[in-house]
Amino acid sequence: MRTNRTKEKLNSGETVFGCFLRYPSAALVEVMGYQDWDFIVFDGEHGMVDPRDCENMVRAAELQDVTPIVRVTTNSPPVILRYMDTGAQGLHVPWVNSRPEAEQAVQSVKYEPLGIRGLASVRAADYGQAIPFGEYVTQANAETLTVIHIETAEAVKQLPEILKVEGLDVIFIGPTDLSHSLGVPGQADHPTVKTAMEQITEAVSKTSVALGIMVPNAQAAQEWRQRGASYITVAFESMLNPGVRQFFSSVRQ
């Protein structure tokens, strides 16, 4: 069982940076691993990453010592099991709107006595070849990272209760879905959305749970870091777009 470097850094009070990747390409993950990412999130919700793809992408991330994390399609134990069995060291769970839903997410990631995740000789457990199951279960429960998304008006309302759930590592703000839920789709800078995000930030700041956020650029990352976010992500496309535009603005003059 590999040490989860991202979780280790978070627990030490450091800020970690990751990239969302929606394309099922182990080669692309390997190339990205040469950059300075702490983690890469393989997007199974808004991307085409299925468990078979995820397993190979996890292997590529491990080659570069980048923490492999996956965003699943839904908060469902069987779905979560399939992705975690690939060896992913963390999980993003979208649309968590209540304490029971947060409890279900944590229990799906963790083995007994912390959860209900099924145990088998899968890749995550080194196919049962390395250490006894008992040792593996203890290590896996300690190393896996649980990230839940707060991206609806109801989730913001229920956040004080959600934060009481044991085993949560990161509360993650999804600005786009949050804006949609608040009736101003795509307007992350709308006062209503800003107010909701401030409510989330304030609630999380009173706990030991890390605050996570998706940002569009470096300036926003710096701003959110100052506001207390320590788990900061950006989309692959947000990194690609400025570089390409800058290239063509120079060569096509």
Catalytic site residues? 46
For the stretch 194-203, contacts whose Cβ atoms lie closer than 8 Å and that sit 24 or more positions apart, written own/partner, are 196/153, 196/156, 197/173, 199/156, 199/159, 200/150, 200/156, 200/159, 200/171, 200/173, 201/227, 201/228, 201/229, 203/159, 203/160, 203/163
Residue entry with tokens 């690609």:
240
Q: Is 112 helix (H, G, I), strand (E, B) or coil?
A: coil
Q: How many CB atoms lie within 10 A of CB 11?
A: 12
Angle between helices 99-109 and 77-84 (to 10 degrees): 30
Asked if omega into 113 is within 30° of 0 (cis), the reply is yes
